[in-house]
Amino acid sequence: MRTFGVLLFLAASILGCLILGLMFCDGCGGSKDYAVNMDLALDRIQRIVGLIIAVIAAFSLLLRGTANETLEEQTGLILPLLGGVLLVTGHWGVAVAAAGVAAAIVAKGCFPGPDSTRT
């Protein structure tokens, strides 16, 4: 139920940002520059949504760190943090970092270490 609430909040935030972006899109109603203005509005919405995701992931990492959780327990929040930063900046370096973290997580699942095979 908690996951559903988080997803519902995220969906409502995205929808709210979309509505606000379209409401404040200057001259979107029939001008010649409609496509340019809509592109700018959607770019702002993408950055706002990325900011929301990155802030939530960073705050969650901070809370988990202060609760003395191990680094391995916190790795699940690194991908949302990098994804949010990627939406905000759009730089290829963040995409490479996100791909590297994802590859490391997949490799860890495929090739368990000697400690994870003990019973």
pLDDT, tens digit (0-9, with 9 covering 90-100), for 39-89 = 777 788 888 888 888 898 889 888 888 888 887 778 788 888 888 888 888
Residue 38 confidence (pLDDT): 73
Q: Which domain holds residue 59?
A: 2-110
In-domain check, residue 117? no
Closest CA to 48 of 20, 76, 8: 20
What tokens appear for 29 in the block?
Answer: 């109603």
* pLDDT for residue 100: 86
Tell me whether residue 115 is in a domain.
Answer: no
pLDDT at 91 exceeding the cut of 60: yes
Buried b vs exposed e over 65-75: b needs ≥16 C-beta within 10 Å?
eeeeeeeeeee
The domain total for the chain is 1
Q: Residue 25: its pLDDT value, please?
A: 63
Higher pLDDT, 29 or 98: 98
